[in-house]
């Protein structure tokens, strides 16, 4: 089944865009047909990094009805294997309004898609609380991927998440937990300055060898984590097509 992957969070700065960049990188690497949207139109980092990479990234304010109409129309017309949308932080209420207004889960099913809700965690309560609200709203109509962003860990662990009722509920709904490895700050900042996708961080593109090694090792670890949730993230579409041939 094809996938609509929505990356959400209780607030900005949890690492949603960092995770979305990995997803887009991997979809491109595997040759999977995808459409990627940056719905954070006030701070469109994903668009800036990936607008000319692979299939590109489209700006779209999913929280506005006219823009949401375009979202559904483009999916129907182009029928990609995977649709990725990087949602703005703290947009849960408006997101649920749009989902209800358009009947997202029904139209997704009619078009042959299953929705995956991805939440990137920091160490605070707000992201967990926001996720529980979304879980109560969506229930088993979607699949869940919970991403522990290790850049927040610093040896403290995700104790609030581990002891939360949200974790229990997500497990009951067969949600999958993965980790987002930490990339050295100086290297991350270098890629931000260059607006460069992870997989283009090579010596040929002007990245110092030491920084290239750090990005390469980061990608190796991250891909192993993404693989754990590969079905939910639409990353098995390319494998299925190759087997069919």
Residue 243 reports pLDDT greater than 70: no
Rounded to whole angstroms, the Cα distance separating 97 from 137 reads: 11
Domains in the chain with CATH codes: 2-238 (3.40.50.300)
Helices vs. strands in the chain: H and E counts, helices first = 11, 7
Per-residue pLDDT reduced to its tens digit, 139-192: 999 999 999 999 988 777 899 999 999 999 999 999 999 999 999 999 999 998
Q: Is 5 helix (H, G, I), strand (E, B) or coil?
A: strand
Please provide residue 177's backbone torsions phi and psi, each rounded to the nearest 5 degrees: -105, 135
Residue 242 reports pLDDT greater than 50: no
Per-residue pLDDT reduced to its tens digit, 3-44: 999 998 766 678 999 999 999 999 999 999 999 999 998 889
3-state helix, strand, coil split of the chain in percent (to 5) is 50, 15, 30
Assign 239 a pLDDT band (cuts: 50, 70, 90).
low
Burial code of 24-44, b = ≥16 C-beta within 10 A, e = fewer? Answer: bbbbbebebebbbbbbbeeeb
Rounded to whole angstroms, the Cα distance separating 158 from 215 reads: 25
Tokens 């869940």 belong to residue: 144
């Amino acid at each position: 089944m094809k996938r609509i992957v929505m990356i959400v969070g209780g607030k900005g700065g949890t690492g949603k865009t960092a995770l979305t960049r990995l997803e887009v990188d991997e979809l491109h690497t595997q040759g999977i047909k995808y459409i990627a949207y940056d719905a954070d139109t006030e701070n469109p980092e994903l668009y800036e990094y990936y607008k000319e990479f692979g299939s590109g990234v489209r700006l779209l304010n999913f929280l506005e009805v006219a823009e949401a109409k375009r979202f559904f129309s483009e999916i129907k017309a182009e029928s990609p294997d995977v649709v990725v949308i990087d949602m703005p932080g703290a947009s849960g209420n408006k997101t649920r309004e749009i989902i209800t207004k358009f009947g997202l889960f029904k139209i997704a099913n009619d078009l042959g898609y299953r929705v995956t809700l991805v939440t990137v965690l920091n160490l605070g309560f707000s992201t967990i609380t926001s996720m529980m609200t979304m879980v109560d709203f969506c229930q088993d109509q979607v699949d869940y991927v919970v991403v522990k962003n290790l850049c927040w860990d610093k040896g403290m662990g995700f104790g609030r998440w581990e002891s939360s009722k949200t974790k229990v509920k997500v497990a009951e709904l067969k949600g999958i937990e993965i980790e987002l490895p930490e990339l050295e700050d100086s290297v991350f900042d270098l890629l931000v300055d260059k607006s460069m996708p992870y997989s283009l961080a090579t010596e040929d593109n002007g990245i110092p060898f030491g920084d290239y090694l750090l990005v390469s090792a980061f990608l190796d670890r991250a891909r192993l984590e993404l693989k754990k949730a590969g079905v939910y993230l639409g990353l098995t579409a390319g494998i299925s097509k190759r087997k069919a041939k």
